[in-house]
Amino acid sequence: MNFNHYIRDVENFPSEGITFKDITPLLQHEKAFKASAMALLNLVPKTPIDKVIGMESRGFFYGPLLAMELNAGFVPVRKAGKLPFEKVSQTYDLEYGTDTLEIHKDSIIEGERILIHDDVLATGGTAEAVCALVEKLGGTIVQCNFLIELEFLKGKEKLKGHEVRSLIQY
């Protein structure tokens, strides 16, 4: 299945000069959604995964599905101020500013094998911040897994030392 047919370009979102890759048409098409979830699962190495991390907010679409199929727990990484319990924070740069991500302090046990998932790898700042959070908590990153990679932004360079896989590349 050609998943590119289900990705919509939205010009000047979230700010002027950015072309946003909108995955909602993919999510809305039941066969494409299921096929893309299975294709993402097939990118994961055949090694046990203890937890899948999904980044706010679009990492929440596929992250729990991957966790269920991998018999793993799911851990949400959220923007600052959204998690209710003790947390660890990491500030990072975006294409258009800075932001802070947080994870619950007790969400990863030292040595657990972690799959990090998000919808898009752009400049790599978000994924790099999540890798730092996982490592602060003692997790072992098995793979960084993305629906889409914007290769021209070279985000993979910020994730050196980690296995990076993506289903769709632009």
> What is the per-residue DSSP string for 61-80?
HHHHHHHHHTT-EEEEEEET
Q: Is 151 annotated in the active site?
A: no
Furthest CA-CA distance within the chain: 43
Task: Decide: 120 and 59 in contact? Cβ < 8 Å.
Answer: no
DSSP 8-class letter at 34: H
As given in the structure block, the two tokens for residue 168 are 């769709």
Catalytic-labelled residue, pool 58, 112, 128, 149: 58
Q: Is 8 annotated in the active site?
A: no
User: What single-letter amino acid sits at 80?
Assistant: A
Catalytic-labelled residue, pool 95, 113, 135, 165: 95
* Residue among 126, 115, 132, 116 at smallest CA distance from 153: 126
Catalytic residues: 58, 95
